[in-house]
Amino acid sequence: MSIAVGGPALFIGSDTPCVALVRPSIDPAQPEVREAAERAGVTPEEFAGPSDLWQLIADRTDGEGREIALNDLSDAEAAAFADGLLAATADPGSEFSLVLTVSAHDVLRLDGRPAGEGFAFVAAVVPPPSEGTPALEVEIGPQSVADLRAELEQFRRNLG
């Protein structure tokens, strides 16, 4: 069963490969959620759970991927990362490096370089050392500046 999720989501890359910073939320009013909650013996609200837990998701074309729970990431920190990316992409001719740090751990390093009408990226997704999983590098092909900035603006609006 597939349950639709909503909430703020920032996608870097338009398909695979991509990196996404998302705060999923499950709508307890959805029929699928109500059905799953009934089978689990809990209320739909309990089943949906909190909608304030961030995730960092990376996907490569070779099937390799990572999903990291960012329990300590606040909306303000996610917004600051988006603001940093907006500022970095203001000059389409310059390279940049941006880091997302959560609980004193750099979970994402995003290196951008000019490519055509936009930017290409190399994203390094670094799970916490306690997971024992190596970092994953994702090369993301060119994304237009206009599309990227529209994605960032939408993300900021969804944060409220």
Domain ranges, ordered by start, for the chain:
5-159
Per-residue confidence (pLDDT) for residue 1, from 0 to 100? 32
Three-state DSSP state, 147:
helix
Per-residue confidence (pLDDT) for residue 51, from 0 to 100? 61
Three-state DSSP state, 37:
helix
Taking only the tens place, the pLDDT of each residue in 31-72 is 887 887 788 788 877 776 656 689 999 999 898 888 898 989
What confidence category does residue 86 fall into, taking pLDDT thresholds of 50, 70 and 90?
A: very high
List 58's β-bridge partners, or say none: 19, 66
Q: What is the pTM of this model?
A: 0.82
- Does residue 154 come out as left (phi exceeding 0), alpha (psi in the -120 to 50 range) or beta? alpha
Whether residue 5 is predicted with pLDDT greater than 90 in this model: the reply is no
Whether residue 82 is predicted with pLDDT greater than 60 in this model: the reply is yes
Per-residue confidence (pLDDT) for residue 53, from 0 to 100? 84
Per-residue confidence (pLDDT) for residue 49, from 0 to 100? 65
CATH class of 5-159: mainly beta
Give me the half-sphere count of Cα atoms (radius 13 Å) on the Cβ side of residue 106: 9
List 108's β-bridge partners, or say none: 100, 125
pLDDT averaged over every residue in the chain: 88
Q: What is the mean pLDDT of residues 139-143?
A: 94
Whether residue 4 is predicted with pLDDT greater than 50 in this model: the reply is no
What is the distance between the alpha carbons of residues 42 and 34, in angstroms, rounded to a whole number? 9
Per-residue confidence (pLDDT) for residue 2, from 0 to 100? 36
